[in-house]
Each structure stands twice: as structure tokens, then as C-alpha cells.
């Protein structure tokens, strides 16, 4: 019962892939000689801080657990498990949604598919609804998806509708989005549209203004003033006016612009053109300002609107007690 004898047998077992028997002999070696380096390493030990320790024991003693090939804290493992569970649920919704969207094309199954989509109330489905809405082209299906989103009790649902309202090319769907946002009016939702006033896309600027006018949030007045006139890069033709290769810039004042946006700007691009910066007077911004101000009207004069706002703020600020 010597170290050398057990080592020879352990090596003999290794050559014959006798794992359990080899482990038993290696274990006996470190009982006889605790510092036998080869046996220790064969058993998975390493010299850590002057002691032979298994890495897993060393890490466990410090609060780490091996999970999916990485050492993590219990909190990290919990977060990872939650993330994995969420991904599984989202995958399940993705598969269901794909099937229902396909079934909407089948007259025999369309009604049931629409009913299934309309019945969704799981916050975990918001992401797949957003992705489906982004890809969908059919107006009735878009409206169904938006209505479904509006009924989900999740802080992430209405922001999806807000974002869609700024880019949706169908005017009916755009107005449906705004109607829902105005009806629900979750706290702070106006900030999303205020951000839209800074868009490089003039259509989005005017859509954001239209929504802000309907929301009635007076905190939007100052940002609206700055968005009365905005600058945008457009493609300008290099050919003479009237040529077939020209860029047409159309300004709409009646609430309907290119892509169905209120007060937007549309482009028809041709060859031989170049980028130019243009200033655009945004009618929907002016309309929103007039509404939120209670009827004030200074046109597109930013300075006049700024002066009015200073006076208005002073008027609404209670006098300090002396």
C-alpha cells in the first residue's frame, strides 16, 4: 500500500479508460501523500493561494456557481434564468403570431386567428407585436395589432404605438395610433412626441406636433416654438426646372402630407441631384401652438412666440409672498 504502487495502478487504469478505479487509486495516493502534485492535478486540484483546492470548491467558497460554462453569482444566475424564461416565452409568442398572421390569409381560419390576436394580454407579447406591426402591410391587420397593444397592461405597449405613429405611412393607421395615445395618456407620454419634434424627418416633426396638440400638454409649448421652422436636407436637382430629372418638394397645409402625415414634406427624386438644406415652416406645429396657447397667433414668428411665453409664464407663476 505505497504511493508508487497506487500510481502505477492508476496509470494502468488510465490506459484502459477505467475511470472509477483510477479515481480510487488517486484518492488513496493523496491520503498517503497530500502533496503528491500529479495525483492532485489528475483529481482536478490546483494550487491556489498555497493550498491544494478544486477550482469549483474555491469559487463556491467565494459565492460563485458554475452555470452554463461560466462562474456567476447567485444573483447573476437568477437574472440569467429569468432572461432565459423570457426568451422562451417570447419565442412561443413568435411562433404563435407567425401562425396566426399566416392564417389571416385563409378565409376559413381568418376569423379565429383575428380573435386569438385580439385576445393577447401578456406583456411578454409586446415585442413580437411590435416586430409584426413593423413588417405588416395590410391596414386591417395593422389596426388589429395596434388595438391589441393598447389593451396590454405593460409600460412598453403604448410607447410602441407612439413610435409607430411617427413612421406609419398609412394615414388611417396613424390617426388610430394617436387616438389611442390621446385616450390612454399614460404619464409622461408627451415627452416621446416632444423628442419627435427634433427629428430630421419633416413628416415626423409635423406628426409629433399634431399629437402634442391633441394631448394638450402645455409643457410642449416651448419645444413647439423651436420647431415652428426647422431645417432639413433635401435632394435638389442639378437640371433645369421642368426637366424630367428634377426633385419635387411638396408642402402640404391641409393636414395631409406625403406618406399620410399632417403638414409633411414629400420628395420625388431624380438623377443629377445634390443635397441642400432648406427651412420648412411647419403648419401642424403652428396649429398645435395655437391650440395649446388658447388661441394666440403669432404665425411662424419664433421671437414673438418666445416673448409671449415669457409673459404667460410670469402670469401663471404665483406672486411671491413678501
- Residue 135: what pLDDT? 96
3-state helix, strand, coil in the chain (%, to 5): 60, 10, 30
Contact 254, 262 (CB under 8 A): no
Q: Give the whole-angstrom CA distance, residue 187 versus residue 170.
A: 27
- pLDDT for position 248: 28
Helix, strand, or coil here: 78?
helix
Rounded Cα distance between 175 and 181, Å, is: 10
What's the confidence (pLDDT) of residue 237?
66
Confidence at residue 265, expressed as pLDDT on a 0 to 100 scale: 39
What is the per-residue pLDDT for 258?
36
Burial label, 149 (beta-carbon count in 10 A; 0-12, 13-18, 19+):
buried
Report the interhelical angle of 157-167 vs 202-215 (nearest 10°): 130
Distances (CA, A) of 135 to 53, 98, 106, 107, 154: 55, 11, 19, 21, 22
**pLDDT by residue (tens digit) across 224-281?**
999 999 998 877 765 444 433 332 223 333 344 433 333 343 444 455 678 888 899 9
What does the pLDDT read at residue 247? 29
User: The pTM is what?
Assistant: 0.69
The packing angle between helices 74-103 and 110-118, to 10°, is: 150
Mean pLDDT of all residues belonging to the chain: 87
The confidence score (pLDDT) of residue 250 equals 30
Q: Give the largest Cα separation in the chain, rounded.
A: 105
Distance CA(270)–CA(202), nearest Å, equals 20
Whole-number pLDDT of residue 51 = 87
- Residue-wise DSSP of 231-300: EEEEEEESSPTT-SS--EEEE--SS--GGG-TT-EEEE--SSEEEEEEEEE-HHHHHHHHHHTTS---TT
- Contact between residue 218 and residue 286 where contact means Cβ atoms under 8 Å apart: no
pLDDT of residue 251: 30
Q: Is the dihedral of CA 191, 193, 197, 200 positive or negative?
A: positive
- pLDDT < 50 positions in the chain: 239-269, 319-322
pLDDT value of residue 242: 41
Amino acid at each position: 500500500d505505497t504511493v508508487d504502487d497506487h500510481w502505477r495502478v492508476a496509470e494502468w487504469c488510465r490506459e484502459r479508460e477505467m475511470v472509477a478505479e483510477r479515481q480510487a487509486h488517486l484518492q488513496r495516493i493523496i491520503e498517503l501523500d497530500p502533496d503528491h502534485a500529479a495525483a492532485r492535478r489528475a483529481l482536478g486540484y490546483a494550487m491556489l493561494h498555497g493550498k491544494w483546492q478544486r477550482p469549483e470548491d474555491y469559487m463556491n467558497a467565494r459565492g460563485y456557481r458554475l452555470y452554463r460554462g461560466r462562474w456567476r453569482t447567485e444573483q447573476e444566475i437568477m437574472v440569467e434564468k429569468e432572461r432565459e424564461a423570457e426568451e422562451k416565452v417570447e419565442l412561443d409568442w413568435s411562433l404563435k403570431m407567425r401562425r396566426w398572421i399566416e392564417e389571416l390569409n385563409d378565409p376559413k381560419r381568418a376569423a379565429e386567428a383575428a380573435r386569438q390576436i385580439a385576445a393577447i394580454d401578456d406583456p411578454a407579447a409586446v415585442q413580437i407585436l411590435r416586430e409584426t406591426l413593423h413588417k405588416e402591410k395590410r391596414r386591417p391587420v395593422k389596426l388589429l395589432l395596434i388595438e391589441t397593444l393598447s389593451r396590454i397592461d405593460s409600460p412598453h405597449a403604448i410607447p410602441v404605438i407612439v413610435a409607430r405613429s411617427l413612421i406609419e405611412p398609412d394615414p388611417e393607421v396613424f390617426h388610430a395610433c394617436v387616438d389611442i395615445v390621446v385616450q390612454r395618456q399614460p404619464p409622461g407620454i408627451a415627452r416621446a412626441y416632444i423628442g419627435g419634434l427634433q427629428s430630421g424627418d419633416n413628416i415626423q416633426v409635423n406628426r409629433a406636433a399634431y399629437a402634442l396638440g391633441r394631448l394638450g400638454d402645455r409643457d410642449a409649448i416651448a419645444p413647439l416654438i423651436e420647431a415652428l421652422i426647422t431645417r432639413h436636407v433635401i435632394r435638389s436637382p442639378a437640371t433645369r426646372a421642368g426637366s424630367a430629372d428634377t426633385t419635387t418638394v411638396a408642402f402640404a397645409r391641409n393636414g395631409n402630407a406625403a406618406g399620410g402625415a399632417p403638414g409633411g414634406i414629400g420628395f420625388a427624386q431624380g438623377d443629377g441631384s445634390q443635397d441642400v438644406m432648406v427651412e420648412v415652416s411647419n403648419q401642424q406645429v403652428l396649429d398645435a401652438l395655437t391650440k395649446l396657447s388658447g388661441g394666440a397667433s403669432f404665425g411662424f414668428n419664433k421671437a414673438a412666440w418666445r416673448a409671449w411665453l415669457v409673459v404667460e409664464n410670469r402670469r401663471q407663476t404665483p406672486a411671491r409672498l413678501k
